Structure 1
């Protein structure tokens, strides 16, 4: 079994760059292992995620409820839309009755 090892750097500056890169990779690996071992931080992160999801769902439900309430209040008997429609209907009927009475009197 032969393994291929990278050739060591020959230049001092190249060797120092290699050491710095190796230290950075080692630090990242150590940080990743520490994060996996920190159960309390993982649990807190999960709580934060679930809290954000719950707040999002509450906001959605609230928005839908407000929309439904506004839609229901627009069609409620005392709402301005319904009152305006009723007023237009009354005006149309009164105008029709007035026209009918005027036409009937002129025929007599």
Structure 2
């Protein structure tokens, strides 16, 4: 599911992806016993990482025009942050008690 959401985040804006995928993933999450709030957190993190990665990288294009830099320098500058977000995504995805505050 994480890989699918990362790919969707790369090519689609967040609101459209949520409107299209949320009903499908919530029903799938119910089958596998995933809390809907936890699933929503995972979706938002995945889609945001997708917005920061090429080929489309909508947030990168906005930053490119705001800072008047070329696409490659913006993409290189954002790589450490994408790495940290991926680590956070792995923690949230595989340790649900931490993200929901459960014991």
Same fold (TM over 0.5): no
| RCO higher in structure (CA 8 A, sep ≥6) | 2
From the CA coordinates, give the structure whose radius of gyration is larger: 1
**What's the TM-score once normalised by structure 2's chain length?**
0.27
**What's the TM-score once normalised by structure 1's chain length?**
0.26
